[in-house]
């Protein structure tokens, strides 16, 4: 990934300076015109690529296909899911050393989330090819498998179900499944897999991601990304629509919680129509779900029309179809890419 970060220096300096002049956003994008144009982002969320970081095992790269999502375990290791069935799941240390690979039966692995029960961690995956949700122990053994939710009465057939994400409520183990590539429902189960609800609201269009928002500990909620609509919805834990925030042009993948902030990989940006030339950046939101930093992105032009009025990436684009992010204990940012010619994830370090 060295070339994009070298080639973009002069253009990025000019682009960010222009963005600073017209930004309506509260984080003060004037700071984006950084003296070092290799720095991405604004305010307290500024990062520089660690260019030499990559996955390795026995001095050879571990092969990947579509890298979809990351999680960080309580030990500090990170786990990535990829559609390469030689190693669907790759666990590695924070310095990039591969600890192990496991999982060979998930050709459409897409979602990856983590839960904990009595001190034991479990992985939750979705497979859009097999149309399943699976709970795995840390050795990759299947503990529970949920198929198409026929019992909801909402689905005519199995092929209407293509789950993209799960979220597990730490308070009671309830399971929320986002059917982002299928019928745009959030399906709600109890910890044992019994149906509790099925929710869909106006504006749901590719409900790609779901997360438990515990920032208000007395009143936890759900965050749901409606990717094709460029909207982030807030729902109650029983599915009521509590409103949304609109980010025109930003195709947000899934909400990743980090303290009071939300990180969102934006797979495509500044495009009026979905196309093959995917672009994107990483968006950081504050406690009110308003943008604080656009890492590799530019804010909409105030009063702009067409693409100028949309959230969009800088040029040359710094990411290759970014699909998910993960943060480690030191605040380093890892970015996974979909359909990126088997590109390994990127690592970014905070700029103090």
Write down all domains in the chain, each with its CATH number in brackets. Answer: 2-350 (2.120.10.30)
Q: What is the pLDDT of residue 6?
A: 33
Q: What is the pLDDT of residue 220?
A: 98
Alpha carbon separation from 159 to 155, 163, 206 (Å, rounded): 9, 11, 16
Instruction: Quick: pLDDT tens for 50-95.
Output: 876 665 444 556 888 889 999 999 999 999 999 999 999 999 888 8
More confident residue, 180 or 352: 180
Examine the pLDDT at 276 and tell me if it is beyond 80: no
**What span, in angstroms and rounded, lies between the C-alpha atoms of 52 and 282?**
20
Q: 58-62, 118-122, 294-298, 305-309: which has the minimum mean pLDDT?
A: 58-62
More confident residue, 56 or 194: 194
Q: What is the pLDDT of residue 55?
A: 52
Instruction: Quick: pLDDT tens for 131-160.
Output: 999 999 999 999 999 999 999 999 999 999
Q: What is the pLDDT of residue 316?
A: 80
Examine the pLDDT at 182 and tell me if it is beyond 50: yes
Please, where are the H alpha helices in 201-352? none
Contact 297, 311 (CB under 8 A): yes
CA 285 from centroid of its chain's CA atoms: 13
Neighbour order of strands in the sheet with 109-117: 109-117, 120-127, 132-136, 142-146
Q: What is the pLDDT of residue 13?
A: 41
Under the banding of pLDDT at 50, 70 and 90, the label for residue 27 is very low
Please, where are the H alpha helices in the chain? 2-7, 9-22
Examine the pLDDT at 31 and tell me if it is beyond 60: no
Instruction: Quick: pLDDT tens for 7-23.
Output: 333 433 444 444 443 34
Q: What is the pLDDT of residue 274?
A: 67
**What span, in angstroms and rounded, lies between the C-alpha atoms of 150 and 161?**
10
Q: What is the mean pLDDT of the chain?
A: 87
Under the banding of pLDDT at 50, 70 and 90, the label for residue 341 is confident
Alpha carbon separation from 306 to 21, 45, 126, 309 (Å, rounded): 18, 28, 36, 6
The reported pTM is 0.90
Burial 17-30 (b: 16+ CB within 10 A, else e): eebbeebebebebe
Instruction: Quick: pLDDT tens for 232-275.
Output: 999 999 999 999 999 999 999 999 999 999 999 999 988 766 66
Under the banding of pLDDT at 50, 70 and 90, the label for residue 318 is confident
Q: What is the pLDDT of residue 140?
A: 96
Q: What is the pLDDT of residue 65?
A: 87
Under the banding of pLDDT at 50, 70 and 90, the label for residue 281 is very high
Examine the pLDDT at 29 and tell me if it is beyond 80: no
């Amino acid at each position: 990934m060295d070339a994009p970060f070298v080639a973009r220096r002069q253009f990025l300096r000019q682009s960010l300076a222009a963005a600073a002049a017209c930004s309506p956003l509260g984080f003060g994008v004037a700071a984006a015109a950084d003296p070092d144009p290799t720095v991405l982002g604004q305010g307290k969320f500024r990062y520089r690529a660690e260019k030499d970081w990559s996955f390795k095992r026995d001095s050879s790269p571990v092969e990947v296909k579509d890298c979809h999502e990351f999680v960080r375990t309580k030990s500090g290791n990170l786990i990535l899911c990829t559609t390469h069935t030689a190693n669907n799941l790759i666990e590695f240390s924070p310095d990039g050393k591969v600890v192990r690979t496991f999982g060979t039966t998930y050709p459409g692995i897409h979602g990856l989330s983590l839960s904990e029960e009595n001190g034991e961690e479990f992985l939750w995956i979705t497979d859009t090819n097999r149309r399943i949700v699976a709970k795995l122990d840390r050795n990759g053994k299947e503990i529970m498998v949920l198929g198409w939710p026929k019992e909801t009465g909402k689905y005519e057939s199995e092929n209407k179900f293509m789950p993209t994400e799960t979220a597990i409520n730490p308070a009671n183990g309830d399971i929320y499944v986002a059917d982002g590539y299928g019928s745009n429902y959030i399906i709600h189960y109890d910890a044992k897999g019994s149906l509790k609800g099925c929710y869909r609201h106006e504006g749901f269009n590719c409900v790609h991601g779901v997360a438990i928002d515990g920032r208000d500990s007395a009143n936890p909620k759900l965050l749901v990304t409606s990717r094709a609509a460029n909207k982030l919805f807030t729902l109650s834990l029983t599915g009521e629509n509590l409103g949304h925030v609109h980010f025109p042009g930003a195709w947000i993948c899934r909400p990743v919680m980090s303290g009071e902030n939300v990180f969102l990989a934006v797979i495509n940006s500044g495009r009026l129509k979905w196309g093959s030339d995917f672009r994107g950046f990483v968006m950081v939101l504050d406690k009110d779900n308003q943008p604080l930093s656009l890492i590799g992105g530019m804010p909409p032009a105030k009063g702009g029309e067409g693409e100028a009025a949309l959230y969009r990436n800088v040029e040359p684009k710094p990411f290759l179809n970014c699909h998910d992010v993960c943060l480690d204990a030191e605040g380093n940012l890892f970015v996974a890419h979909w359909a990126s010619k088997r590109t390994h994830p990127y690592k970014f370090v905070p700029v103090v």
